Structure 1
Amino acid sequence: MKNKNHISKLRIKLYQEKLERLKRKSASKKRLQNIANNKRVSSIRETKHKNESLFNQPKEATVSSKSDFTLLDFPENVLSFIKMVDEVTKKKKYKTIFFDISQVTSIDIGSIGLLLSKINELSTVGIKVKGNFPENAPCKKIICESGFLSHMNDMKGRRFNYLRGESNLMVSRGFDRTSNVLVGSAIRKAVKHLTGVDESYRPLYSLAQEMCANSVEHANEHHHSKNWLFSVTYKNADTVCFTMTDIGRGILGTLKRKASQIIKEVLLSDDKDILGRAFDKQYTSKTKDINRNKGLPKIKSIADNNFINNFVVITNNVLLDFSNNNNSKLLNKKFDGTFYYWELNKKCIETWKIRKSQ
């Protein structure tokens, strides 16, 4: 009898130990999954369709993003994804690239705009782009309301029926003049949203025109790379956010410097300082265009006079924050293009009107 009780107790103990092992294994697996999501590395995966032979090249490549996918907070994550797309494109063996953003847990209008600009660029060289939505519901909502889907088709070639935010807008143009009407109308709507008055706002219109014209006319010698995207997002009742995304060479790639300047910069400066000086008009253009880079000081002046808020520029390997220089930094990923972000509120408009009346 004692032996039976002993065996029963032993079995119970073994069963309990087994349960504990399973619990620990499950917890460990979940912990590793969380780490993988947080430190997810952008990656490329090739897909071969069923009707392809083993000897044919794969027709589709999948590029996966990291979970933190906000351009303003985690620029290296977003630029790493874009760099991976560029590497796939250079191989010239894929007809389709699949953008896998399913594991994204944070996203912003900057990264969405950069994705759309890259999709526009790929379309000009005959590469189709497919993709999915984030499993994270708030991130999916941001994409749907941003205006991104207005430029996309579903797998059957039909326009998406997702409704964007009431006033959110993405103006996407590739290879022609700046769309004055669309940009001007977007600015008027933003001003009316903030002040209740239907009127334009000259500083913002000048800012947008400088950025868009610069992209269309000078972004890159290659015609297919000259494209820009202008977006408007209504953050809340008091703030409207704007972005301008330009796929090209980036500001640093267009600067012309004397040999003495280059030597001095190598010894005493970094790219962050050089970009700052470009906005102070200390350099000319490699294109020798008399108007080239003249817009940068104008843009800086608008920011310095507080006609806009939270002005940020990302170009090449630099993030420059004009509102808080402590946030400016060198990036470990290079962006062949320029991204601008700024915000507008009622105080900005009032500041301009007061200065105008003085």
Structure 2
Amino acid sequence: MKKLYQSKKQKKYTQKRIRKQKRLNKNRKPYDLNRRPRTTIYNNNVIEYIDRPPINAPSNLCLMKKTEDCIDFFKKLRRENNISKEGKRCFVGISLSDVTEIDYSTTCVLLAIIGDLKSKGIHIRGNFPKDEKCKKDIIDSGLLNSMYDSSGNPYEKSIRSELLFIEKGTKKLTKHDNIRISNTVSKVNEHLTGQRKHCKKLRTILLEICGNSIEWGGTKNRQWLLGIKYEDDRVIFTITDVGKGIIKSLNRKFKAKFKDFFQGKSDDEILKGAFIKKYGSSSQKENRNKGLPAIKNGFDIGLLKNLKVLTNQVILHYDDDTLSKVMNGGKEFQGTLYRWVVTAESLNKG
């Protein structure tokens, strides 16, 4: 609704401010990743500007192929000693110039990390890859949906990707979240089959895994990210949480009993167990902790394809178990990522 000015003086003052802001936006210079550290004097106080060098991303940023290289990059983004400062403003600089390949899983993890850092008052500044195809993949993934260019204008939203943030610790999914998930399932069906209809099994899986967030409401990270990428003959689903991860969360839940409870089991065996049976529920409700078994069941019946799970030191490739492994040498993903594919053929099995 248009504001009604109380006086000509107020209207004149407001229009003057608008003109001034337009001049500032027009003259704003693009961010230079290689600028030098400097200091300035404000109210007789010397304010130091800390400019850390940007973090260079590896050329291959495909999380499912180059898992350990991507994990190293994610860890650098979240390290305190990589934070730059402009007075009271904190940010982390990244350089994607040399990236030639990136997958949807990586962009969703980056979005989740960006959201987590933003909640702590830390922003991300960076550039595009020189490779045009890779640049297009990033735009299509929706990574820029909530970002602004060097002129302060929002990027155009991608129509090939849909991103839904689910609040953790709310004890239940809101009515709005339920509606969004239902509409997303209908849209996926329409994209693959041409008919806008529900897929009850797929909707149940998404509701269960998103509802599972009430189990970990006490963690510092407050959101799960549900990402949907629409491709020609398939749809990619990712669910990303950059909190503690499943194995560490189980350790925290059982505390002293953890070693006895899982005695003699490796991390990958513990994780596989979480997908086929209950380890207990903090809410003590029957319908809780079904999220992980629901995903495994969806894969078993053929609704979900190419199922992959990454958490802590473990990555599971349910489509090819020979690729599953436990990473050593301090390689650890801080959080949990689920990734699967749905096709028109698999929807018939839901």
TM-score, normalized by the shorter chain, greater than 0.5: yes
Out of 259, 268, 291, the position equivalent to 1:272 is: 268
Query: What's the secondary structure of 1:303's corresponding residue?
Result: helix
What is the alpha-carbon root mean square deviation over aligned residues? 2.8
- Which residue pairs with 1:156 in the alignment? 151
Deviates more, 1:180-189 or 1:113-122: 180-189
Out of 183, 189, 214, the position equivalent to 2:181 is: 183
CA distance in 1, matches of 2:301, 2:271: 19
Amino acid at match of 1:221: G
More helix by share: 1
Contact 1:47 1:62 in 2 (8 A): no
Query: What's the secondary structure of 1:143's corresponding residue?
Result: helix
- Which residue pairs with 1:80 in the alignment? 72
Query: What's the secondary structure of 1:83's corresponding residue?
Result: helix
Amino acid at match of 1:270: S
Shift of 1:276: 0.4
Contact 1:62 1:98 in 2 (8 A): yes
- Which residue pairs with 1:349 in the alignment? 347
Larger radius of gyration: 1
The alpha-carbon distance between structure 1 residues 296 and 330, as it changes in their structure 2 partners (threshold 3 A), is same
Number of residue-to-residue matches in the alignment: 301
Amino acid at match of 2:163: M
- Which residue pairs with 1:221 in the alignment? 218
Query: What's the secondary structure of 2:58's corresponding residue?
Result: coil
CA distance in 2, matches of 1:61, 1:213: 40
- Which residue pairs with 1:302 in the alignment? 298
CA distance in 2, matches of 1:50, 1:221: 40
Contact 1:46 1:58 in 2 (8 A): no
Shift of 1:52: 4.7
Superposition misfits of 4+ residues, deviation over 6 angstroms: 89-94, 258-261
Q: Deviations over 1:238-284 (max 9, x none)?
A: 21111111121111122245867624745x32111110011122522
The alpha-carbon distance between structure 1 residues 344 and 89, as it changes in their structure 2 partners (threshold 3 A), is farther
- Which residue pairs with 1:134 in the alignment? 129
- Which residue pairs with 2:210 in the alignment? 212
- Which residue pairs with 2:324 in the alignment? 328
Q: Is 1:232 aligned to residue 228 of structure 2?
A: yes
Q: Is 1:67 aligned to residue 64 of structure 2?
A: no
The alpha-carbon distance between structure 1 residues 86 and 289, as it changes in their structure 2 partners (threshold 3 A), is farther
Contact 1:245 1:338 in 2 (8 A): yes
Out of 142, 146, 162, the position equivalent to 1:169 is: 162
Query: What's the secondary structure of 1:204's corresponding residue?
Result: helix
TM-score (norm 1): 0.75
- Which residue pairs with 2:195 in the alignment? 197
The alpha-carbon distance between structure 1 residues 97 and 204, as it changes in their structure 2 partners (threshold 3 A), is same
Gaps of 5+ in 1: 1-44, 353-358
Contact 2:219 2:244 in 1 (8 A): no
Contact 1:102 1:132 in 2 (8 A): yes
Shift of 1:184: 2.0
Contact 1:232 1:240 in 2 (8 A): yes
The correspondence of residues 278-317 of structure 1 with structure 2, limited to 5 A, is 278-285=274-281, 287=282, 289-290=284-285, 292-317=288-313
Contact 2:61 2:70 in 1 (8 A): yes
The correspondence of residues 240-255 of structure 1 with structure 2, limited to 5 A, is 240-255=235-250
Query: What's the secondary structure of 1:138's corresponding residue?
Result: helix
Gaps of 5+ in 2: 1-32
CA distance in 1, matches of 2:259, 2:83: 34
Amino acid at match of 1:185: N
Contact 2:63 2:105 in 1 (8 A): yes
Amino acid at match of 2:164: V
Contact 1:219 1:249 in 2 (8 A): no
- Which residue pairs with 1:16 in the alignment? none
CA distance in 1, matches of 2:92, 2:257: 44
The correspondence of residues 23-42 of structure 1 with structure 2, limited to 5 A, is none
CA distance in 2, matches of 1:61, 1:218: 39
Shift of 1:58: 1.0
TM-score (norm 2): 0.77
Q: Deviations over 1:219-243 (max 9, x none)?
A: 45245x111211111222x211111
CA distance in 1, matches of 2:180, 2:296: 24
Amino acid at match of 1:235: E
Shift of 1:218: 3.6
Out of 93, 99, 105, the position equivalent to 1:98 is: 93
Shift of 1:114: 0.6
Shift of 1:313: 0.9
Contact 2:39 2:48 in 1 (8 A): no
The alpha-carbon distance between structure 1 residues 57 and 116, as it changes in their structure 2 partners (threshold 3 A), is same
Contact 1:120 1:174 in 2 (8 A): no
Shift of 1:340: 0.8
The alpha-carbon distance between structure 1 residues 220 and 156, as it changes in their structure 2 partners (threshold 3 A), is farther
Contact 1:219 1:248 in 2 (8 A): no
Q: Which has the higher contact order (CA 8 A, sep 6+)?
A: 2
Shift of 1:174: 4.8
CA distance in 1, matches of 2:97, 2:145: 20
